[in-house]
Amino acid sequence: MKRTELSSLGEFGLIDRIKEKFTATHPSTVRGIGDDAAVIDTGGDHYQLISTDLLIEGVHFDLTYVPLQHLGYKAVAVNVSDIAAMNGVPAQITVSVGLSNRISLEAIDALYEGIQSACDAYGIDLVGGDTSTSRSGLVISVTATGRVHKDKITYRNTAQAADILCITGDIGAAYLGLQALEREKREFLENPNMQPQLDDKSYVVGRQLKPQARTDVVHDLAEAGVVPTAMIDVSDGLASEIMHLCTQSGVGATIFEENIPIDDHTFLAADEFQISPITAALNGGEDYELLMTIKQADYEKIKNLPNITPIGYINADPKQIDLATKGGNRVPIQAQGWQHL
């Protein structure tokens, strides 16, 4: 019998294959597989949003250098980010964990301290979950719910030609933080008595260990009276998310290298690790910022918002997705971010 490797499809190819086999039958199912969150019509003026993520030890995190409190916080934040990417506000989460016999009660307490901290930060309730034995390390699954006004729902397949492409915050730092942590791990394995040398990497390390979901930007947009035409969160790298947004919307895009927001700490870390900061920004991932498109008429409303930076524009040609470099060249954008399978 023929065997097909999952790597030949990749994560999104597998998702598309699964999606093809299922058709929504309930009228309340507004949007199913294929966006940052599912959209359910429960009546009234708002939609319910549902998103879930799975974090597996040895794949998504390394307990050698990831504190359990930070891991608990991050597990919640990455789900809240999906709710924010739909222009929604989070409300509840459930948390399920698979625990190996090397996880102590004190370790579980630390994990849930981080989860509680995230609940407090985002104003959400932990309302349930499950626990089970795991034979392959720690496994965490979080499901988040939220709500969004029906007139403000934002999908990733609705970008339009001539829209302005924007991103929140800055990008590339989380990838450099991972490089710093991996280097410390290698040095620790060679010399267990060494002391961590991360004082000058606190910003990039913090961006890796404790990312922040941009629910603040959702509120800023609401106050400015702006509803993005499309939006997606940046988990797998800017290039990958631009490709997803353009492919699903049937459009192209041009972004300008000089406009990509990169923090000074990221530049310094990139120089130390001899990594191009643009490469880290485009392909690093785990920034959990929001990539959005807005109508040109809304530019005046967002131009003074400190957390939103215009980086390019949408065009009508799906084959033209490129980066305009500082040197004046146009380079096709390719998704080289995190490969899940």
Whether residues 103 and 204 share a domain: the answer is no
Q: Determine which of 20-34, 240-254, 258-272, 302-316 has the lowest per-residue pLDDT on average.
A: 20-34
Whether residues 137 and 236 share a domain: the answer is no
Band of residue 340 on the pLDDT scale cut at 50, 70, 90: very low
Q: What is the dihedral of CA 54, 57, 63, 67, to 10 degrees?
A: 10
pLDDT confidence of residue 336: 64
Choosing from 149, 179, 201, the residue where a domain stops is 149
Give the type of residue at 131: T
Average pLDDT over residues 24-42: 89
- In the chain, the number of structural domains is 2
Q: Phi/psi at 136 (nearest 5 deg)?
A: -130, 35
Choosing from 91, 119, 149, the residue where a domain stops is 149
Residue 245 covered by a domain: yes
Residues 6+ apart with CB under 8 A from 7: 339, 341
Which stretches does DSSP call E strand in 193-304?
230-234, 252-256, 289-294
What CATH number is associated with residue 121?
A: 3.30.1330.10
Average pLDDT over residues 34-59: 94
Q: Which residues of 248-266 are buried (b: 16+ CB within 10 A; e: fewer)?
A: bbebbbbbebeebbbbebb
Choosing from 123, 149, 175, the residue where a domain stops is 149
Whether residues 39 and 91 share a domain: the answer is yes
Residue 157 covered by a domain: no
Dihedral of alpha carbons 156, 284, 169, 89, sign: positive
Whether residues 73 and 29 share a domain: the answer is yes
- What is the H or E stretch that residue 182 is in? helix 173-190
Average pLDDT over residues 52-61: 93
pTM: 0.92
Whether residues 169 and 118 share a domain: the answer is no
Whether residues 128 and 266 share a domain: the answer is no
Largest CA distance in the chain: 61
* Nearest Cα to Cα of residue 10 among 234, 339, 247: 339
pLDDT confidence of residue 341: 43
Average pLDDT over residues 216-244: 96
100 vs 114, residue with greater confidence: 114
Q: Determine which of 12-26, 43-57, 156-170, 203-217 has the lowest per-residue pLDDT on average.
A: 12-26
Whether residues 87 and 216 share a domain: the answer is no
Whether residues 174 and 295 share a domain: the answer is yes
SS3 content of the chain, % helix, strand, coil (to 5): 35, 25, 35
Average pLDDT over residues 184-201: 79
Average pLDDT over residues 245-252: 96
Residue 314 covered by a domain: yes
Residue 8 covered by a domain: no
Whether residues 197 and 127 share a domain: the answer is no
Residue 16 covered by a domain: no
DSSP 129-160: EEEEE-SSS-EEEEEEEEEEETTT---SS---
In the block, tokens 């967002």 appear at 302
The answer to whether 263 and 203 have CB atoms below 8 angstroms apart is yes
First to last CA, the chain: 22
Whether residues 86 and 210 share a domain: the answer is no
Average pLDDT over residues 64-93: 97
The parent domain of residue 111 ranges over: 22-149
Band of residue 136 on the pLDDT scale cut at 50, 70, 90: confident
Q: What percent of the chain stands above pLDDT 70?
A: 92
Average pLDDT over residues 119-133: 97
